[in-house]
Amino acid sequence: MIFSDFLKALGQLGDPRFRRVLLLGLGLTFGLLLAAYVATVWLVGALVPETLTLPFIGEVSHISDIASGFSLIAVMGLSVFLMVPVASAFTGLFLDDVADAVEDRHYPNLATAPRAEFLKALADSLKFLGVIVLANLLALALYAVFPPFAPFIFWGLNGFLLGREYFQMVAMRRLSQADAKRMRRRHSVQIWLAGALMAVPLTVPLVNLLVPILGAATFTHLYHRLRGAEGV
């Protein structure tokens, strides 16, 4: 059943509203990373002198240029790690657009769900970004200690985080926060498995950028399927 939820989401990937959210999320992500690079270069230029006198070596020039080059490499490397979680956070701002597109096509008899307030959506997205980045940084130790199991640790950890976050956000469109939590706990295994299914493409470059859209759509289907199974 989880695969059917995913396949329905995948089948709607060409929806103009999906593409709009994808482009908005990617545009904001690239803009943020570009701003981070510009700020880093400016900070390096302001703090690092052009020339430096070293003991036994003498005066070394172009220190600022060298430092800027290293900062570019560092920011690019960091951007590879942060691209998907940042894109996920920005996409969270437009979750309602994805869920509305799914419900309009597959659940047309539903009343329109109230949209989340922008500031609340922003706060939730930033909180999710912080949690997923921190959790993956802490998991680096486990990857180093158990390298053969690193993919499974990654999928399990991020599956839990993605499942918890996306289901909660989708459910709270139509339930109170307390009811959404109770429903998430009742179906925790299915939600974790669906999250793990979303986590697998995270390891595939470029494809991983589609995960926020597919995640929001898949969990919209999952939510309505579980509600139907509960007879609500």
Q: Tell me the average pLDDT across 161-165.
A: 88
Calpha distance 86→26 (Å, rounded):
9
* pLDDT of 229 higher than 90: no
* pLDDT of 193 higher than 90: yes
* pLDDT of 169 higher than 70: yes
Q: Please classify residue 228 by burial: count the beta carbons closer than 10 Å to its beta carbon, then call 0-12 exposed, 13-18 middle and 19+ buried.
A: exposed
Q: What is the pTM of this model?
A: 0.79
Calpha distance 205→80 (Å, rounded):
9
Residue keyed to tokens 């995960």: 211
Q: Per-domain residue ranges for the chain?
A: 2-229
Percent of the chain with pLDDT over 70: 79
Percent of the chain with pLDDT over 90: 25
* pLDDT of 87 higher than 80: no
**Percent composition of the chain: helix, strand, coil (DSSP 3-state, to 5):** 80, 5, 15
Answer whether 8's CB lies under 8 Å from 106's CB: yes
Question: pLDDT-derived band of residue 180, with 50, 70 and 90 as boundaries?
Answer: very high
* pLDDT of 107 higher than 90: yes
Output the CA torsion sign for 36, 17, 118, 91.
Answer: negative
Condensed to tens digits (0 to 9), the pLDDT of residues 33-83 reads: 778 777 777 776 666 555 555 455 545 455 556 666 676 676 666 665 666
Least confident of 88-92, 110-114, 185-189: 88-92
Report the DSSP beta bridge partners of residue 59.
Answer: 53
* pLDDT of 9 higher than 70: yes
Chain centroid offset of residue 35 CA? 19
> Of 165, 145, 167, which Cα lies nearest the Cα of 157?
165
